[in-house]
Amino acid sequence: MTLAAGSHSGSGNSLLLVAPEYDGVTASWFFPDFWEGQAKPVTSGGRGGAWFIDTESCGMVLRHYRRGGLMARLAEKTYLFTGFDQARSLAEFRLLGRLRSLGLPVPEAVAAIAWKYRLFWYQAAILVKRIPGAVTFSDSPRLGDELLWEQLGQVIRRFHDNGLDHVDLNCDNILVAEGQIYLIDFDRCKLVAESDNEADSAWKQRNLERLHRSVRKRCPALSSSQRENLWQHLFQAYHRQP
C-alpha cells in the first residue's frame, strides 16, 4: 500500500483515511448496522467492539477502539483529543502501511477514522482486510507442534529486526493461516530506531515477556511442562542467527 496515494477526507470533526485500493469507503462503513446481516461480532480475544464483515468482494474486520483496565470504567470508547495526527486509529493505519512495505506479515489496512467528540475527546475505528482461514495462535490445531513455535519465534525476530515494538504481543494478536503466521492489532505500537545500546532493546524483552504471560494464560490445553518446552523452542528460534 502506498500511503502517499491514499485518500483522506474530513469535516473538521472527523478525519477518514482510505487505502488507494479501496476507494469509495465512507464513514458509514464503520458502523455495524450499515452492514446489516453481513457484520458478525468477533467472539474470541480482545475487549469486544470488533466485527467480521463479509462482502462479495472481500472479508474485513471492523474494530472500534476501546480501553481496558480501570480507565474503561471512566471512558470506555473515548480518548483525549490532541490532534488528528495523534489519533490511535490513524496512527495504526499508517503503521500497517509501513510494515507491509517492509514485507512483514500483517493484515492489509482498508481505512481508518477518528471522530472528534465534544471539546476534548475523540473516538476511533479501523477496517482491515480479513485473513482467510485465520485462527488465533492458541486456537491453532497445531498448538502442540514444535515447528509452529519455532516459526513464531522467527516471525517475532523479523519484526524486531525491523524495529517493531508490539506493546500488546499476546496469543490473540497472533494469527495462523495456511502455514503462515501474522501479527495483528498494532494500537500504540511503534517503529523504534536501531541502536547499539543494549538498554534501548529492553522493549524486545518486554514483548517476549508479555507473550510468555499470555501463553501461560491462554493455552490451558497444554500442560505446564509442554508450554515451557514449546516456549524454549520459540526462544531458541528467536535467538538463532538469521
pLDDT at 1 (0 to 100): 32
**pTM for the model:** 0.90
Residue 140 in grid coordinates: 491453532
Q: How far is the C-alpha of 171 from the C-alpha of 45, rounded, in Å? A: 9
Collect the ranges in the chain with pLDDT lower than 70: 1-11, 45-48, 68-76, 195-200
152 is written with which cell numbers? 513464531
Out of 139, 165, 168, 187, the active site residue is 168
Per-residue confidence (pLDDT) for residue 215, from 0 to 100:
98
Is-contact 95 106, C-beta < 8 A?
no
**Would you call 41 helix, strand, or coil by DSSP?**
strand
172 is catalytic: no
* Nearest alpha carbon to residue 11 among 115, 109, 145: 115
pLDDT in tens, 4-15: 335 566 557 999
Q: What is the pLDDT of residue 135?
A: 96
CA distance 149 to 179: 12
**pLDDT number for residue 47:** 58
Chain position carrying cell 510468555: 212
How far is 142 from 166, CA to CA, in rounded Å? 24
- pLDDT of 199 reads 63
**Strand locations in 190-230, DSSP E?**
190-191
What is the number of residues in the chain? 242
Q: Which pLDDT does position 198 carry in this prediction? A: 64
